[in-house]
Structure 1
Amino acid sequence: MLRLENVIFDDHIPNWRRSRIKSMRHVIIFVVQGTFQFELDDFNTELTKGDILFVRPGPYRSGTNGPFPPHQKYVAHFQLDESSRQLSAPHGSEKGYVIYKTNRAEYFRQRFHALHQAWIDKSAYHEFVCHGLISEILGSMLQELDRKNIASSKLKLARQIEKHIQQHFKEEIRLEQLCELVQLSPNYVIRIFKEVFNQTPLGYIHQLRVSVARDMLLQSDITIHEISNYLGFCDPTYFNRVFRKITGYPPSQLRKERKEAEAESVVRNR
């Protein structure tokens, strides 16, 4: 059985700092944006967008903002009973923690957002909703970790390709460019990248673009056509098709739901 104890959303806190403290419960940290420095026992690392940190009870942890603008991250604290602890034992059992970059960042962002909203809402049945969401998040994370037994050489190459994509995802990225970057054949580039991230480089580019598009639809008044051009799709029809394939709904629906929510908020506050 899993018992959720706290859910936190650190949203661009200017002087964020975590004093050194011993982890007394299980913790999952998911980085939405930005960079920050983190220390676990004597291990120092930099966590960036898409990183997931799973900490078991025991290690000492501390952290500070990175050299870039303040970050965004979700943090969930929970307890596990004996059977659940055995289920998660293979991951982080030696060091007490495990860090990896998820290839399903948008999925985890949506799940954590829903979990945080349910946690702070405290409406009827919120405990059942929260339990279901954190269980789903933990299960999805453990499934990903089971697929991470990949040679470090392959991981290094895949991360190099990923970094290039993240830096240029709004531009046209051809497979030939990625092959030249790592000096490998097209088939090998696709095979290694898919082995690490469970999708092709093109699929990763689409996931990244759609994730940014979703934020723009929710947080700006830029038109769908402008968003399509900004993210390098050029053809709005193609953008709509890719967006629907990844999210299950068209971008126009998300924009419509946002406007309806804003209108309802205005009415309630009159």
Structure 2
Amino acid sequence: MSNSVIKQSFYRESLGFSALCTHQILRGGHIETTPDYKVSRKSVSGHEFIYCLNGAGWVVFGGKRHYVHKGQLVWLPVYGSHVHFPDPKRPWEIYWFRAEGGKLTKIMEFLQVHQQPTFLLEDNKRTVEIFQQVFEHMQQHSLLSDITCDQLISELLVMLLESRSEPDKITQDPVKHRGLTSLIYEIHSHYAEDWTVEKFAAHCQVSKSQLFRLFQSTFNQSPLKWLKHYRISQARRMLVESDDSISEVAYLIGYKDPLHFSRDFRNIVGISPSEFRKREAWG
């Protein structure tokens, strides 16, 4: 990174409140880059939101390269291979934070981020304020600060939807069934419990066959596969935020067998939990 200036850097330490929120902030900061600055990674946890304060830069993912100029925000799904770097003629100054949780992946697909990850927002002043307020609350370790960050991310998502979606599409929600919505919120708070298909169906007040149709149409996954992926997403967060052992993380997300957890983690993420933790520490 040579002479690039990291003006602010924040790493969210978990106090256990994040499980109560829809979205969790992992890291964030404020950087003034020089032409030789470059970030190149195979995979880290979550989604990064980068706002270009000055200058310009490039992001590369999914085999495509996208230009980002002053006043634009770029949504970068960093759980896959990605690169970002400044325009050498006018290196960018950026605010950024990384988050995960909620329906970020579903919203990303709805907004067709893989085709066009850049957004030009109408209210630049409020965009800057959102980033600054996120940074402020990342330094406060309380349930109130976590909930406030959650609300700020939701506000930013609304701004992204408004910037791109037609008015009649803004209110569309990937989860439309009331029982399924209730179930998803319940699992978000109690994902480590011993969930079964029978419990899923009972909570939704539907038959097993209806349950499978709901999950397939909403998430394109079976109920237990969806639960497995959600638990692994929580494990990725814990591996970043805590010093808990791999076995402890496995137990905290609902696995009784650490070897079973490690196998599922590798199948979904592509690397082992220990490799993921080491790679994220370098990210």
- What is the TM-score with the length of structure 2 in the denominator? 0.46
- What is the TM-score with the length of structure 1 in the denominator? 0.48
Which is helix-richer, 1 or 2?
1
